[in-house]
Chain A
């Protein structure tokens, strides 16, 4: 964290920390972290990227899914130190300043979200799929998203959202 000063509290005196450098959404960021700090917590509290949600703490729900070197990872059970030297993409990295990612558009167009809590993880898992397979079948999508739980929307509209995005990405690539 950058500030003009860092307060030394009673707690910060003797705790060993390790410096990590992670490329987050294309920007190189460094922090001193306790070895036990989870990646999700570094992203949320350290870097203020609160779009990464923690749901279950056990790698089941996928709300905390981020891309590490392009592959989906559940950041609630990954240590921040394990991400040292790697490339991490969060939901905040999907859109550019002026343009939404087609997956984001797809989720809005096909009503692929309700409360929005699972959405960042869903979209990133979908991105990993579409980066590998630009023309997935419905089954491909259901399988790729089977590590991500949704409680409001169910999955039908989420699948449609990803199909919508795939088509748009193919058209603009073509």
Chain B
């Protein structure tokens, strides 16, 4: 009799999370919880100004403070060739400044002391003489003629341009625009935002001279990439480097890049021969580490009278800060921005992109998204609404006319990706039905008569999740595959390790469910470990929603290898040939005599105690998985809002989310990911942004200035599902962790625009703060760019 898969915690079970058992008891093990014998503490002195030449650094007073063990400056790093380091995007970044500081918050010096309070005191005793330079805070200033050169450290860098890039078919797109009945245009700014996991970044470096081994506990989403980077930067042998990423207090892309603090703590440990702990404070995190977004998006759409979209032009200008330090696949300078319009059947498209250096912290990390698809999908859905409005066509109808049809897969997207599956129209229908679209339109008409502004916004999107395949995707030349290693012990219990790294996604729970699905070993009998490069197989880590598409697939594949070997053992135990063996969940049996069978656990025992002659003992294997394509989940988000014209305050009336992420391994966790993503989407639409004043001061350097929504502001969400299995993924799953953050913001913004559009307001750039919405209503005009900074006289 076959096992009940749900009962053993297999696929489809809303299994309660294994990791919760320690988290709810306060027994998680985050980097700051790790204490090593003899550990010293490091603090970083940061630049208070955004652009300045360093005339001198006087550290003598810092050395005089009792308990100070080491003071490091850029000059001292330079003697070890560590003042600069390579970034994950073929640029360089200062570890400790030697010549200039290029953004406020840049690392200038570091103190290592007996406790963190002393280290902070000593940082304050360091005197730095800055000669301030003109500051650049946006791409317009960066490209102006005569603009000061930010990266004068680089050869062949005559200006502030990082890159120029294009993709698509320009002639075909030009032709489409010639044939258009209506050309619609829109210009947007996606404001700078910080992923801001609650746990800031940190590391504990522990160099043991007696063994030559360097162990580093680190807040990293990609420990193996870090190991490779440390081997290359610090010129230490790779087998003598062990990176341990313990529990992470959130990541959202913020913990992918290599940060100066990690490198400094490593050198400090080598010099002091003591473990050195560096834990960033929140301001350090908010002003210096991996920003997202900050892109100016502009484009046109060519549309025929009947609603058919003929072509799209896009132009993006992105602000990368002082160093191009985020991780992007080498081939794609502006990430996967060209995934825009992938869910629509559009014959021609062309995208040009420019990136600029500014005197801001390094930006451009994929904040809870797959390499900048958030900006792409936001532009897509704002452009779609603008075109529908210009055409005078219902926004839902306009989408239905242009969405890729179910029988049109595989489908080549306007920029050349290949999508493979989906029921786009159905998802939208489910969402419209759930929200009561037709009725709402009637209610809206009535409400307007009474002076009430209610609106409905739609966002339909697909995004490319799960890089690689390795043909197209690499970071610094390292191909983007992933891995899993499964060891089944003789009693049928198992340990699974992967090259991914959970940060709250629940891998310890869901990976075991895949093993249960493939082998019939109860999920409770499988322990999952990640994040230690000495024990986990090589992998590219967790970001870009790649865990389930890539590492999750590897878990299925390694389980199948174990099953294949077990089948041979079963044939041996049952004394029949392998061809006569059938499999049902957890058990092999003889085809002609189904009562005769052996369980997977009996096979495991035999692998150590009674294997066939000539068979290699044991039951372990490893799988490296290189996906044939990205996975393409789809979502339809529909929101209704009411805007108070007197105050500009808008309330979410309802938010319906229909997600199709293929087969759901653990529905509870999938829904949790969607609700978390919707919360961040609401955050960006409503309040979450960071801006800079004209001097390059970061406005938003703490949670008093950087607004994040609480339980009080955040609306409720209604979730629905559609399931279209991924045709190439071994268990039919697609990525999901980021869909809602990616597709959600446009639904909220479109809803507010729908509520006030009849007044002649076409666009309000995010965040839709009440004063901005109010100003748009009062002046009946658009509000563009980041909110201005208060410029009180000093």
The yes or no verdict on A and B being binding partners is yes
Binding site for B on A (CB under 8 A): 9-11, 13, 34, 36-37, 44-45, 49-58, 60-61, 63, 90-92, 94-95, 100, 104, 107-109, 111, 113-120, 123, 141-143, 145-159
Q: Is the CB of B679 within 8 A of A154?
A: yes
B118 pairs with A116, CB closer than 8 A: no
Among candidates B28, B35, B672, residue contacting A157 with C-beta atoms closer than 8 Å: B672
Tell whether A145 pairs with B710 under 8 Å between CB atoms, given A57-B282, A116-B249, A152-B676: yes
**CB-CB < 8 A to A123: which residues of B?**
24
Binds A, one of B193-201, B438-446, B579-587, B636-644: B193-201
Query: In whole angstroms, what is the CA distance A84 to B25 when docked?
Result: 25
Q: Name the B residues within 8 Å of A108 (CB-CB).
A: 16-17, 20-21, 24
Q: Which residue in chain A gives the minimum CB-CB distance to B252?
A: A151
Known: A116-B504, A148-B710. A51 touches B25 (CB 8 A): yes
B contacts with A: majority SS: loop
A119–B250 CA distance with the chains assembled, in angstroms: 12
Not counting A100-B25, A156-B717, a sample of 11 additional A-B residue pairs whose C-beta atoms are within 8 angstroms of each other reads: A55-B198, A55-B249, A56-B198, A90-B26, A115-B247, A116-B28, A116-B504, A147-B710, A153-B679, A156-B716, A157-B675
CB-defined A-B contacts under 8 Å, sample of 7: A50-B33, A53-B30, A114-B505, A149-B710, A151-B252, A151-B676, A156-B714
**Of B129-137, B357-365, B700-708, the one touching chain A:** B700-708
Q: Which residue of B lies closest to A60 (CB)?
A: B703
Q: Which of B677-693 contact A (CB under 8 A)?
A: 678-680
Residues of A within 8 A of B504 (CB): 113-116, 152
A107 with B24: CB separation less than 8 A? yes
- Identity of the chain A residue whose Cβ is nearest the Cβ of B682 in the assembled complex: A154
Q: A111-B669, A116-B504 are in contact. Are A145 and B711 (CB under 8 A)?
A: yes
Interchain CA distance A114-B386 in the complex, whole Å? 37
* B24 neighbours in A (Cβ, 8 Å): 91, 100, 104, 107-108, 113, 116, 119, 123
Q: Which residues of A contact B711 (CB under 8 A)?
A: 141-143, 145-146, 148, 150, 155, 158-159
What's the minimum C-beta distance from B522 to chain A, rounded to whole angstroms?
A: 19
Q: Which residues in B have their C-beta under 8 angstroms from that of A146?
A: 710-712
Q: CB distance A118 to B17 under 8 Å?
A: no
CB distance from A55 to the nearest CB of B (A): 4
Q: Smallest CB–CB gap between B550 and chain A, Å? A: 20
Interface centre among A123, A141, A147, A154 (most CB of B within 10 A): A154
Contact of A152 among B22, B30, B250, B714 (CB under 8 A): B250
> What residues of B have a CB within 8 angstroms of the CB of A50 in the complex?
26, 30, 32-33
B471 CB, nearest partner CB in chain A, Å: 33
Bound Cα distance A63, B26 (Å): 11
In the complex, whether B238 has a CB less than 8 A from a CB of chain A is no
- The list of the 3 closest CB pairs from A to B, nearest first, reads A51-B26, A116-B23, A117-B249
The answer, yes or no, to whether B66 is at the interface (CB within 8 Å) is yes
Residues in chain A near residue B758, CB distance under 8 A: none
Interface centre among B118, B710, B712 (most CB of A within 10 A): B710
CB distance from B172 to the nearest CB of A (A): 42
| Chain A residues, Cβ within 8 Å of B200 | 55
Give chain B residues whose Cβ lies under 8 Å from the Cβ of A13. Answer: 66
Which residues of the partner chain B approach A56 to less than 8 Å between Cβ atoms?
A: 198, 282, 702-703
Task: Tell me the complex Cα distance, A62–B35, Å.
Answer: 23
CB-defined contacts of B23 to chain A, threshold 8 Å: 113, 116, 119
| Distance of A137 from chain B, by nearest CB (Å) | 13
Establish whether residues A117 and B197, one from each chain, have CB atoms under 8 Å apart when the complex forms.
yes
Q: How far is it, in angstroms, between the C-alpha of A94 and the C-alpha of B24 when the chains are bound?
A: 9
Within 8 A of A (CB), among B534-578: none
Task: Verify B66–A11 contact, CB threshold 8 A.
Answer: yes
CB distance from A40 to the nearest CB of B (A): 11
A149-B672 contact given A109-B16, A115-B250, A155-B714, CB 8 Å threshold: no
Give the docked Cα–Cα distance between A50 and B279 (Å).
14
Cα distance A27–B197 in the bound complex, in angstroms: 33
**A52 proximity list for chain B (CB < 8 A):** 26
Looking at B32, B678, B703, the one whose CB has the most chain A CB atoms below 10 A away is B703
B-side contacts of A91, CB under 8 Å: 24-26
- Chain A residues with CB under 8 Å of B26's CB are 49-52, 90-92, 94, 120
Does B175 count as interface, using CB distance less than 8 angstroms?
no
How distant is A128 from chain B, measured CB to nearest CB, in Å? 15
Q: Chain A's nearest CB lies how many Å from the CB of B775?
A: 27
Cβ-defined contact, A58 with B678, below 8 A = no
Q: Is the CB of B704 within 8 A of A58?
A: yes
Q: B1-30 CB contact bits vs A (8 Å, 1 = yes)? A: 000000000000000110111111111101
Which residues of chain A are near B703, meaning CB under 8 Å?
56, 58, 60-61, 149
Complex: chain A residue closest to B672, CB-CB: A111
Contact code string B266-283 (vs A, CB < 8 Å = 1, else 0): 000000000000000111
Within 611-661 of B, Cβ neighbours of A (below 8 Å) are at: none
For B37-49 the 0/1 string (1 means CB < 8 A from A) is 0000000000000
Closest beta carbon of chain A to B163's beta carbon, Å:
31
Closest to B286 in A: A56
Measured in the bound complex, the distance between the Cα atoms of B714 and A159 in whole Å is: 11
